[in-house]
Amino acid sequence: MTLNNFPSISIVGATGAVGKICLDILKEKKYPSNKINLFASKRSEGKRIQYFDEELVVQEAKKDSFNESNVVFISADSQVSLDLAPAAVESGALVIDDGSAFRMEKDVPLVVPEVNENDINNHNGIISIPNCTTTPLVMAIHNLKKLGSIKRVQATTYQAVSGSGSLAVSELQSQTENFINNKDISMSVYPHQIAFSLIPQIDDFMPDGYTKEEHKMINETRKILHDNNLQISATCVRVPVFYCHSEVISVDFEHEINIHDVVDIFKNADGIKLIEDGLNGNYPTPKFVEGKDDIYVGRIRKDNSNKKGLNFWIVSDNLRKGAALNAIQIMYSAIKLKKIPNFH
């Protein structure tokens, strides 16, 4: 693209973890600074963020902030999205929202470009990004469907504290230091100690015993894959890891599958890297995957209790592919499909 062919971008939540990584990725792509505007809450107004040899000034996000924007990324809490997204659409921008506010709205596409890019054609001004655990799951299942009909999917997640925000990262760090130094441990973000422990609850519990996070995974997966009849269950667990979500996935097919075909599918899939050498201790880990764009798959094996079953392990960077990168990929897909209003 030439300089004039870059859409003007506004990032709402620019001082948050996802907003910062969004800016990092734009920098990697050498996106021109004069096409980027940064917004956040009033308390962050006036902050300066380095972008190459320039400093971009953060402005307070208001409903009338987006008159010059072609694309508005929103990475903030749901109320901010509900307040600002309609105004941004009214001003003529495409909104790409990282929160849960619009994900299950019928007229809002929920998109992972490697899976359902063409759904972008159906947007009415807003496109949603799925939950950061849904994204790697649907990327894997989308490719496995090429092997035949899937009967059931079961996912267990091991989610890093960065999924709860910067305060959760600080809480894990301080709890770890206090534990090692035999000091009192306090909790504010989580209901229980997270350092050297696990918490089998992410978001509030629902009457059926599942949490909201688990419902998000189930419902979002069905929507993205256009399969409301997919039998899927999820258990989401918070773990004492700073970055990257991991998942154990079990898939039951309608027929017996060949493990070599599974390996070939993942080897050739867009956005997926395979590390499959367990005998030599090689498999994806959060530490290895941190900062990488692809999702990583390993520990592929047939279910020894079900000849039609498959088990495997996924790790992805929840702040990159789980959020910021996916948003930017959606923008580039929208450019390709000519689905950004007032931009050609």
| Catalytic annotation, residues | 132, 245
Give the amino acid at 69.
S
Which helix or strand (DSSP H or E) is residue 336 part of? helix 325-336
Task: Report the C-alpha gap between 112 and 135 in whole angstroms.
Answer: 7
If you ran DSSP here, which 8-state letter would residue 99 be given? S
Task: Report the C-alpha gap between 206 and 212 in whole angstroms.
Answer: 7
Reading the block at residue 181, the tokens are 């130094």
Burial class (CB in 10 A: 0-12, 13-18, 19+), 75: buried
* Pair 84, 69: CB distance under 8 Å: no
Which helix or strand (DSSP H or E) is residue 297 part of? strand 295-302
* Three-state SS at 13: coil
* Pair 285, 322: CB distance under 8 Å: no
Task: Report the C-alpha gap between 119 and 133 in whole angstroms.
Answer: 20
